[in-house]
Structure 1
Amino acid sequence: MEATRRRMSLREDLTCPICYELFTDPVMLGCMHHYCKGCITAFWRRARGPVSCPQCRREFPSKSFQTNYLVVGMVEKVKTRSTESYQRTMQKKLKDSLESHLTKKEDFLNKIRRNEEKMDIVKRAGTKLQDRVKEEFQALHQVLLSEEMAMLEQLRVEEEKMLGELGRHLEELKGAVRNLEESITALQQNIDSMENSGLEEIPEGDPGPALQLNNEPEIDVERENGKYLGPLQYMIWRKMYKLLKPGLARLTFDPETAHPNLLLSRDRTAVVECDEVQLYEPSPRRFSQCVNLLAAQGFDSGRHYWEVGVRGKTKWDLGVALESVDRKARVKLCPENGYWTLRLRRGREYSAGTQPGTPLRLTGAPCRIGVLLDCEERRVSFYGADDMVLLYSFVRGPPGKVYPFFSTCFSDRGQNAAPMRLLSLDL
């Protein structure tokens, strides 16, 4: 509506006051009023008297005017835009623009809906995670509360036992004192009688009953209280650690899956790549193309966490592998081939084993890598175990039984000769 009003106002401004049509060959008089050249010429030809402006009546010494090319251009534009072809062209452009705007609006509305859905997902996930965190801490609080109550009850029972023994012995001592006081009184009376009578009347002495007392309780307060003065937090932590779910899994390397160039420690918790081929028994489960191996323990249910020591290594791969992976072929370590892994190359380039790989930016070089496997949620997560920072998480994890997977990579003439270790905590 506003645009229409502006067009009508412009058309009125470009209309000749004599013929009431758009200017034709517009000319400007000395008074700045505009007319069609033919209209003002005819007006002056018919007029009697001095030459003047039809609008303001200003008189001029002669019939003179000049062409206003700016007005000429504006009139031509208005005339052009008034044609049917121009109107059709503009209408099409406007419709196209309207359609484009409607499409963009729908696109933005779809983005708004997707963002709102994501916000709802984040809120629901946040609520679920909050409940889970509260549940985990509530379990820890319950363990601490139970241990506190048990220890306080044990302390109370031991205190009552010591106080009971001491109390009973105290009563025995008080009874002995009373008996002694009675004997002392009797003896004193006998002495007084002796002083007031002759020697022939001296009574026979009565030493009184013999006192029989139980041995004094042997109670060493310092020794009894020593267990409560020790490292309580450490003692409780040891108990809590054994209740952690998941706790640190105790893994060992499986020599039956180890590549022939991998050397295992006696306890099968450390492995290095070496030039000398090891005399392993032939096995269809053995990796033959790459210096890989699996842990002896496999998982298909529950939640499991283990840590791998990688201090001093410049490259490695680790994670989990399906039980069914091809051990005789050289393949890319990615979920499509049955591997969910994290990798290090050139001492500083970390990436997740996706297809293609996902580069990771780490602030430092972790000496321990933690792996959390959740079989129910099919999730595999990797942590910098030094400070438990999440490095990467596969949200679509393995669908079946998996084994912890390891690759030492080649030693590179000693640059990557450090062993890979399975870490445990002995309590």
Structure 2
Amino acid sequence: MAQAASLAQLQAEASCPICLDYLRDPVTTDCGHNFCHSCLLQRWEGLQGDFPCPVCLQHCPDRSLRRNTQLCHMVDVVKQLPNTEGEGKQQEEKPLCEKHHQVLSLFCEEDLELLCPQCQVSCDHQDHHLVPMEQAAACHRKRLKGSIEHLTKQFKEANKALEMQVSKSFELVRKVENQRRDLHSEVEYIKHFLGIEHDEICVRLLKEEKRVQDKIIGTNHKISGHESRLKILLRKITDKCAQPDVDLLMGIEKIHSTFENLESPAGFSYELNKEIFTLPPQYFGLHKMISTFQEYLTLDAETAHGSLILSQDGKTATFQSLEPNHVHNPKAFTSHPAVLGSEGFDAGRHFWQVEGRGLGELSLGVCKESFPRNVPIPPTPDNGCWKIQVWATTPDTGVSGNSCHIGVFLDYELGEVSFYNLYDRSNLYTFSAIFTGKLMPYFSVRPFSTSFKLRIVEDEV
């Protein structure tokens, strides 16, 4: 019996914890656990950065793992070992009743015990339902086999739940990092009075991250332990089903009780609260204005001057020298490098953001829909165009915040167009007028600008 148990343990050690089959092309993680190379890569599919061990969740630095050659040879040896468990037990003598020393041939369905014929007439089992051992074994074997499918489903669900918890852990880190980056950017714009509060918020975020991370890790351990118990129970039941009738029925009550009382741990979910700075009053007014009246504009390609190249999504215009013999669109600007928004406004309040990068001057505002596009007249309020000019003096390096970031707020009924520097939340200028007809968002670049790019910004600042 001891030899058979040792052989079974050796065969279990040579099995992959993921597929439960003998290890194929085994690899060993830094934490010391062994897996099939293909099983581990499949489990890590789609992950980036750290890769958790499927058993203990310890993070592995990368996907490159060394093949365990010695373990590979051991698995080959284990596969060749004979499974003597069944043969040895067939040669054993039939077990006898400890009380009456007769062969155990009956099974009590109420007490789940093996009995001899003399036990049948005893007072302990006189009114109980007794069946022949072979019949009872067949019945309980069928019952155990029926539980395998359910347990397998539970095992897969536990495995999936564990993967979701690991995914939530990475998602938590990503969300915290995104919030920390956004908060840091705002501090840079107004850091003369927000430096201290920035540190306090980062501490709160770290504490919140640690609190949620600890709960997720605790839940992961519970699910991982449940997964291990399911795997052990599956292995026990599978082995039990392969045993002779007598051995199958011995201890059957404990297995049934373990399976019936098995409960799956609940997963942990969370919602990360968004941290917001305590900013000056003008910041909150502008922040509310953006969140309430934000418009998601696109540039109208038909109105674009030939020197402005628009992106496919209509959000970006890049200035370049006009090529000779360029064919002009009848609706396009020809007098100066300008472009209009695709939609105009004849009522209500509207806010949009524009970012300019490069070397040159950007003009932006609103103009009447009837504003001349092929007549060289200056864009002024008298001519139906309300705009300001801003300079972008830093080369286009692709780094956010190195140029100009302007907000435009149109209050049609009030007759105002206001412009804001979104880096420091300051008001640049406000036009007052009586508007009639449709007003179009207006953008233009001075002809002497070089390497200039304007972009419609959609995210809040």
TMscore range, shorter length: 0.3 to 0.5
